[in-house]
Structure formats: structure tokens, C-alpha cells
Amino acid sequence: MINLKKINVFRRKLTKLITKNLVNTKKFENYDIIDKKDIKRILICRPNHRLGNQLLITPIVKELIEIFPDSKIDLFVKGNIASVIFENYDNIDTIISLPKEHFKYIFKYINSWIQLRQKQYDLVINVTENSSSGKISTKFAKSNHKYFGDLNNDTQQNPINKDLNHIAKRPVLALRNYLSKIGIDVSKTQIPSLDIKLSDLEIVEGKKKLNELIYNDKKTICLFTYATGDKCYSEIWWLELYEAIKLKYNNYNIIEVLPVENISKINFKAPSFYSKDIRQICSFIANTDVFVGADSGMMHLASASLTPTVGLFSITDIEVYAPYNNKSIGINTNSMTKNEIIEVIENVLSK
């Protein structure tokens, strides 16, 4: 049986080995002072197809729009999810998308790289410093100002700023650090939230979908009981938590959002919502009062709906992936009882 996980690990290691010299970015660093008003066209490179990873670049996109409100932003990504995520972002101009299967769609793959060279950018940003393809695409694009995501040592070794560990916050802080070096003053405001920018109409439609499952005005707790690989909790674990939530919140609605696999770890005991439409799922969650689920793309989607999100972590690093802002929190379930998890949910609901 083919182990895809091991193949992907090997592929990433091989890619880094082959491109080691290609991704040397030192000679491309440019800290020449630039006038803020001269930055009109920006390219962001994040060639990764996963839902969560593309949602996690919404904060840096929002940061750039805040700093350069008149700019147009292109995205260099992988797959088609970005076009759905950034549907309501007016500043997004072009999404250049690599196919997920490079060898199967070789001509589309080549065309994406050709398209990358067709514009002159005022600023090119690689979101993730450890991404070889991100650094290569940043080098390949045409611009006099390129930032490869590498933080300088004094910033990186600051033990106070734990936000530097977070996969969505770190690029924003790194960008602010870089912009300050090229003469652009950036106010140290709160780091933007993940945000899919739901329209009013989408939220109304999400409310309609919720009302098809419940028939009252009670508050609603939304559960997501699935996740990929080792991040997925057992059926026994979820059933125990579900019963505890039911007992504590008998005056609340409890509903479950299902994954694309249509799997329920609580055996469909709660009313459930199923859709393959990312924005529809997000608008549905936006009408609930709290989302509870394991670290996953769905957890990040809940966070991007601006719904208070309780992220459950047992394997992955909370400091790197935890939901934040909007009363959201990540918790380590390895060191917590079910009752302690209930207390966290209670604290979120009571804020």
C-alpha cells in the first residue's frame, strides 16, 4: 500500500535539497527607501493548496490593504480555493494558480509561471520563509523590492513575542519589520483576524440554513468532530464530550457541521449540516455562537467566519495554529478533562 504521507515528506526534502542554491535570497535583499504611495501593485506568494493554509494568509492580505488601500494585489497560489476565499476582497486583482497535480497538468503549470513574469510589481512578498516554492516564485517575479519572509535575528530571538511562532501572525509581524526598514511607517495595531469577508446576503442565507435545522431562538453551539490523521479524536472521546455539552447546555441548540467525507464521530446524534460549498459552510457557522473542533481547515474556516472558536489540540502546536481574536482560543486536550473543556467553552460564551 502506498503511503502518501511518507511520499510527501520525501518529496519536500528532495525539493529543498535540489533548490538549496536557488533559494539563496541574500543577494536579492533590497532595503532601499521607497515612498509608500509608489506601491501600487503587490504580489503575494503562497503556493499551497490546503484550505487552512490559504485562509491563514487572509491576515497579511488585510494588513497590506490597510497600509496600501489603493493597491492591487495578485496572489500566486496552488489550486482553486483562493478564488473562493478572496471572492469579496476588492483589492485582489489576479489569482495565478498552480495546478495541484503538476505532472498531470504540465502545460497549465508552465503557463502559471509564465503568467508570473508578465507584470512588474512594486512589492513581492513570500509568506512562509520555509517554503522553497514560495521563495523561488518570489525570486522569479519582477520587482525591485522583494521580501522573502526571513526575520532578522534580533526580532526572531525575542522571547517576549510569542506571536512570532504563529503561522498567520508571524508573516504580518515580519512584513511590518521589513516595511520599517524601507521607510514605511506601520502602526503597531492588533494583528488582523482570519476573514473570508462574508457578505450580508451570505450571512442571511446561512441563517436560513441554520433555521432549517432548529426551530427556536436559543443560542447555538457548533461542533466539528472530524479532522485528518492523528488530529482526529476517537468516537468515544467525542461522544463523552458531546454528552457533557448536552448536560451543561440543555438550553442551547447543539448542531454538527460535517466534513466532505460525511463522517460524524457522534454518530449523527445532533442535527447536522453538510455542504461542499466553502462559503456556504462559513456563512452557516457565522450564525452560531461558538465553534468547537479539532485543528483543521474547518477550524480555520470557523475562525474566518469571525465566530468565537475553541480549537482542540492534541498533536499539533497550539502556538503555531491556534485560532485568535473574536474571543477564540486553542486548548491542549492532553492535559484537560472534559469538564475543564466545558469551562473553556463557558468562558468563551460568557465574554
Q: Which residue has the cell 512584513?
A: 175
Domain that holds residue 275: 200-350
In 166-315 the beta strands, taken as DSSP E runs, fall at 220-224, 253-257, 272-273, 290-294, 309-313
- 96 pLDDT more than 80: yes
**0.75 surpassed by pTM:** yes
Identify whether residues 164 and 260 lie together within a single domain: no
Identify whether residues 33 and 113 lie together within a single domain: yes
Q: Which of 147, 181, 215 marks a domain boundary?
A: 181
Please give the pLDDT value at position 18: 52
- 159 pLDDT more than 60: no
Residue 12 lies in a domain: no
Q: How many domains does the chain have?
A: 2
Please compute, for residue 341, the number of CA atoms within 13 A of its CA located in the half-sphere on the CB side: 27
Residue 90 lies in a domain: yes
Contacts of 297 (CB under 8 A, 6+ apart): 50, 51, 52, 55
DSSP secondary structure letters along 168-204: THHHHHHHHHHHHHTT------PPPPP-----HHHHH
- The helix/strand/coil state of 273 is strand
What does each C-alpha distance from 157 to 96, 128, 168, 220, 322 come to in angstroms? 34, 18, 18, 42, 21
Please give the pLDDT value at position 99: 93
Q: What is the pLDDT of residues 320-347, one digit of tens each?
A: 999 999 999 999 999 999 999 999 999 9
Contacts of 4 (CB under 8 A, 6+ apart): none
Helix axes 106-116, 132-140, angle to 10 degrees: 50
Residue 160 lies in a domain: yes
- 23 pLDDT band, cuts 50/70/90, is low
Please give the pLDDT value at position 156: 47
Residue 39 lies in a domain: yes
Which CATH number does the domain housing residue 279 bear? 3.40.50.2000
Say how far apart CA 35 and CA 39 lie, in whole Å.
Answer: 7
Identify whether residues 166 and 213 lie together within a single domain: no
Q: Which of 115, 148, 181 marks a domain boundary?
A: 181
Residue 269 lies in a domain: yes
Rounded to an integer, the average pLDDT of 142-170 is 77
Nearest to 119 by CA among 182, 41, 58: 41
What percentage of the chain exceeds 90 in pLDDT?
A: 80
For the beta carbon of residue 145, count every other beta carbon within 10 angstroms.
Answer: 20
Say how far apart CA 170 and CA 322 lie, in whole Å.
Answer: 13
Identify whether residues 110 and 223 lie together within a single domain: no
Could you give phi then psi for residue 136, rounded to 5 degrees?
A: -65, -45
Identify whether residues 219 and 344 lie together within a single domain: yes
What does each C-alpha distance from 259 to 71, 225, 271, 295 come to in angstroms? 36, 9, 14, 13
- Enter the C-alpha cell of residue 61: 492580505
Identify whether residues 79 and 225 lie together within a single domain: no
